[in-house]
Chains A and B, each alone.
Chain A
Amino acid sequence: MRAGAWRPPSPFPAPWVGTVLWLALAAFLAWNVWSLQVDPARVARGLSRIGIVFGRAFPPEFGQWSLLVEGVVESLQMATLSTALGVVLGIPIAVMAARNIVPSPVYVTGRGIITLARTFHEIIVAIIFVKAVGFGPFAGMLTLTVNSLGFFSKLLAEQVENIDRGQVEAVRATGAGRGGVLLFAVVPQVLPRIIGLTVYQWDIHLRQSTIIGIVGAGGIGTTLYNSFARYDFDFSLAILLVIVAIVLLGEAVSAVARKHID
């Protein structure tokens, strides 16, 4: 190319850096494919079985609807109670984790709790709670509550950090103490977001409640896992359809509610 010719802007400091990065990425992908160690014979056998699996799954079997309803109700209850608990516990933690309104030791503690709650996948948290309080929806509910402390509190803390300082200073100028500032300057600014986040969190918990049953923490996931274990694929498909339906419904409810609030 002619010297000085226009080149599109690039995120890399020099052209060779881009080339090296692309080559590195290609090598990384090649290594991934190479070490996946797929057994072609096993896959071929599996593919030939797809027909059998799907043949058994269709048509979906809604005959055991009482089990299905039980699972859905349990999921709904887990999601609702954990969201409520998550809000009650999550608001103080969010306040603690907002840099602009608390002293730094409190901030570090608040952030620490959030980081700890976010660290492990909900399945791993569920395993620990099942061990602690036994099988069933209560363990699942506690798992989802921990998830709230990581998600709801984190987003709420960010909202609190983004509030308008002017209102805080105005309330402080009237001689209000820390509590007064919190109640009359901070809360009114973040209240709509609290409601929006609560609905969103409920929607997320409903999704998560469909899987933590795999390790015995209750909900529709338990029903689904059992149906797979018994090769009741037609019932599994029915459950899957119901899961997709309730998740989409939950998402729609949450979207409508959030649109009304914002």
Chain B
Amino acid sequence: MGELGQGSRLMAETFTTWRRFTPAQSALRFAGRLALVVAVAWSAAGMGIRWEFIADSPAQVADLFRRMFPPDWGFTGELVSPLVQTINIATLGTVAAVLLSVPVAFLAARNTTFNRGTYALGRVMMSVSRSVDSLIWALIFTIVVGPGSLAGALALAVRSIGFVSKLFAEGIEEIDRGQVEAVTATGAGRLAVLVFGIVPQIRPVFAGVCIYRWDINIRESTVLGIVGAGGIGFVLNNAILGLEWSRVGLILVVILGVVAVSEALSATVRKRVT
């Protein structure tokens, strides 16, 4: 009895206190959390917060909205042409991006690329395109081709390549090999295999991606004008610089409408094709 009691007490001490982590793991988790807290505190310290500005901010924002409303409806007529330009920029940027993305996607898809070198090339093009924002591309293109819609369309085209070709490439990698083999078995050449074995499979993906990106580009093209790349953003920037807040209010309402319409359109079409 005594011996057994001692044994079970020993067992209790060794085994029954269940711990999820070993002491080393716990220490590591604690260190991780501490690092997180330090990072956040360090970030907060770097904000250069001026409390008098913050105290003033509700009044500033209220003032801003008071000046914006009611919007200057009389200005609507002058917004038509910049708005058309915005849609042009987004549409042509998307078309150019799609045309440029097809070859990039075939290079960056594991099953259609030629070798490791071409695969890496495709991936690098994707990464560079995606890691620079469209506004920065727009800054660059306004320097090269001058301010205006063309710079905006080029910026969106270059920026969209990464996104579009990434999704294209994923679509290509996910095709059903069976259909490709079936077409090959009929004695078809490389081109025929591409046209009848691969293209029909990726068509819905391509269509969906194109429309999705067009929708994103409409949203982006509304602000490109801030750096001079045409569209409604240009008028917005002028109104802000001129402190014509009632016009700013109107422009924001218009942007809201355009973005909502393009989003709804894109959602409807994507539901039909995929």
- A133-B54, A214-B227 given as contacts; is B255 within 8 A of A46 (CB)? no
The one of A37, A77, A120, A251 that contacts B46, using a Cβ cutoff of 8 Å: A77
CA distance A137 to B84 in the complex (A): 34
| A to B CB contacts below 8 Å, 27 in the list | A29-B95, A32-B87, A32-B88, A35-B88, A36-B92, A46-B146, A53-B143, A77-B47, A80-B40, A81-B40, A81-B47, A119-B256, A124-B255, A128-B64, A132-B60, A133-B50, A133-B57, A134-B50, A136-B47, A137-B46, A207-B133, A210-B133, A214-B227, A224-B136, A244-B128, A244-B132, A251-B131
The one of B92, B135, B139, B144 that contacts A46, using a Cβ cutoff of 8 Å: B144
Measured CB to CB, the closest approach of chain B to A56, in angstroms, equals 10
CA distance A208 to B223 in the complex (A): 14
Interface residues of A in 29-85 (CB under 8 A from B): 29, 32-33, 35-39, 42-43, 45-47, 49-50, 53, 73-74, 76-78, 80-81, 84
Instruction: Write the A209-235 contact mask toward B (1 if CB under 8 angstroms, else 0).
Output: 011001100000100110010000100
Interface residues of A in 13-35 (CB under 8 A from B): 28-29, 32-33, 35
Q: Let me know if B43 is at the binding interface, CB within 8 A.
A: yes
Interface residues of B in 141-155 (CB under 8 A from A): 143-146, 148-150, 153
Which residues on the B side are within 8 Å of A207 (C-beta)? Answer: 131, 133
Which residues on the A side are within 8 Å of B28 (C-beta)? Answer: none
The one of A43, A132, A243 that contacts B131, using a Cβ cutoff of 8 Å: A243
For the A-B complex, the count of residue pairs with Cβ-Cβ distances under 8 Å equals 142
Q: Let me know if B185 is at the binding interface, CB within 8 A.
A: no
Which residues on the B side are within 8 Å of A29 (C-beta)? Answer: 91-92, 95
Measured CB to CB, the closest approach of chain A to B214, in angstroms, equals 11
Q: Let me know if A155 is at the binding interface, CB within 8 A.
A: no
Which residues on the A side are within 8 Å of B157 (C-beta)? Answer: none
